[in-house]
Amino acid sequence: MTDDRPDPAHDDSPHILSAQGREGDEGADGDAASGGDDDFHAFWADVVADEIEARHPDDPIVIKGGVSPSGVAHLGNFNEIIRGYFVAEVLRERGHEVRQVFTSDDKDPLRKLPRKLANADGEIVGLGEVDAGALGRNLGKPYTSIPDPFGERESYAAHFAALLKADADRLGIPVEMVSNTELYADGAFDDVTRTVLSDLDGVREVLAQYQDKVDDEYVPFNPVCSECGKITETVTAIDLDAETVTYVCTDMDVGDNTIEGCGHEGTATFREGKLPWRLEWPGQWDVLGVDFEPFGKDHAEGSWPSGVDVARNVFGIEPPVPMVYEWFTLNGAPLSSSAGNIVTVPELLELLEPAVLRYFFALHPKKARDLDIERLDQLVDRFDRFERAYFGEVDDEDLTAFAERAYPFVVGRVDDPPTEPPVRLPYTFAAVLGMVDDPALRERLARDEGHIPSDASETVVEAALARVEKARNWAERTANEYDYRLQTDLPETDFDDDVAAALDDLADFVAAGHDGEAIQAEMYETAREHDIEVSEFFSAGYRLFFDDTQGPRLGEFLGELERDYVVARLRREA
């Protein structure tokens, strides 16, 4: 079929990637990661790796990301894992030992019920399909204290963490999941907590610049009530020698709602509570020895400046190298669990090869992008062009430079870069083949169109045709023009003589070797010559090929199929 859409090549121009990397893959405090032409890199991950190395870190270099397990583990939660991965792989290529960790902030309290969850396979479900009471009865409690509403893991937090780990495994990313609850329980936060509670005046002075609620009575530690299990924010006394606090279990305000405390007065150790987020985040840098952390632009304007201040003036450490990434939108709108505008990694991998998804995140992280499921073919086309550029098949010097550097990371073969280009079916053509159930016919059509070389091995053919099912899933998910099924056998038909004659004439036209666009135009002309309604003629064609009265742009579709097959079907012979 013809494609009159604009050439999307400019979207992945390395000028977007490397020029931004050169001009300022900047940290939030304004220090450029790279300067001068001598430091120019075609891949942004090299720019970040340079900045990390400039600090002369000890191995293993620690790269961190993190999330609070508050709802569906969707693609947005995966941002930091995959962006951190590219930097980790560059550093490993340079000979460094790297530890990539991802913290689950699972000692945070559940503040409200999520509208959606994801099961163990990453499929999104509503609360009506699980034990929602397991969540509703436990508002205000740490995520690790809340039962898994699916009844499979030891807690809701463990369920959520397992989803993210499974996503990382699907994309071949070796990430270590770290539980905040376990860090506290193991005593990893003991020294950090002691530092905070031993200098309350200093901590208050720092935090007061970023939080209105900080006053002379504010104690930045949240015990877990031993009576009801909820997080409380009211500490009445501190015993540094015993490493305990005295507390009262008071109400917690969450927006316009209140989570009621039980009023219990008790004592908790440093391991039986947690630090507030603005202290806990830089506390993680100290505890885990973090060297680099990517994060979304929401943190760049609030949490990061306070984190830098706390790191330097409370804990006496330097913050890690930062990288602020721009959020991507989904179908033109912000990702939102509450609005239902989310997609999970497993869902996307039903539609795309893993390398295509990795490519999406390999593009420069400071450029806003939209992941439009309806136009997923455009993303795949850009990936295919990027891949061809790596093998020297695209006359674009800048794109080729980017591809030569980034492609081995995108396909996960840094140590063993590919030497031969894989056979790729164009995504929309794969969707056309998805209308065909017969595997042999799929292969024959692909060979006839020249998309599979005559000498391709069985393994190569199988790998090429694997895209067909993904494109088929895309057609079904979006109910687009490819969401039809081509009939393998000739359907039963009974056409009037004039319609039958028009079909025979069209068969002669196709047999003469015309392309899909010409066939589309000829269908109108043939209908007029035989004095039949155009809609009736198209309906006859749809009946022959789909046993339906509607379908894709028929002429263009027929131009994609094997000519002899189309001619025989138009003549009602096979």
What is the per-residue DSSP string for 260-315? PP---EEEEEGGGEE--HHHHHHHHHHHHT--EEEEEHHHHTTHHHHHHHHHHHTS
The rounded distance, in Å, linking the Cα atoms of 186 and 171 is 31
CATH class of 44-188+279-329: alpha beta
Please say if the pLDDT value at position 336 is more than 60.
yes
Per-residue pLDDT reduced to its tens digit, 143-193: 999 999 888 999 999 999 999 999 999 999 999 999 999 999 999 999 999
| pTM, to two decimals | 0.87
Helix axes 458-478, 376-390, angle to 10 degrees: 150
Fold agreement between 44-188+279-329 and 497-571: no
Extract the tokens encoding 515: 């392309």
The rounded distance, in Å, linking the Cα atoms of 325 and 560 is 41
What is the CATH number assigned to the segment(s) 497-571?
1.10.10.350
Rounded to a whole number of angstroms, the CA Rg of the chain reads: 29
The rounded distance, in Å, linking the Cα atoms of 216 and 201 is 8
Per-residue pLDDT reduced to its tens digit, 28-86: 333 333 334 456 799 999 999 999 999 999 999 999 999 988 778 888 888 889 999 99
| Annotated domain spans of the chain | 44-188+279-329, 222-269, 427-478, 497-571
Find the range with the poorest average confidence among 123-132, 191-200, 229-238, 531-540: 123-132
| pLDDT grade for 26, boundaries at 50, 70 and 90 | very low
Please say if the pLDDT value at position 433 is more than 80.
yes
- Taking residue 87's Cβ as centre, other Cβ atoms within 10 Å add up to 27
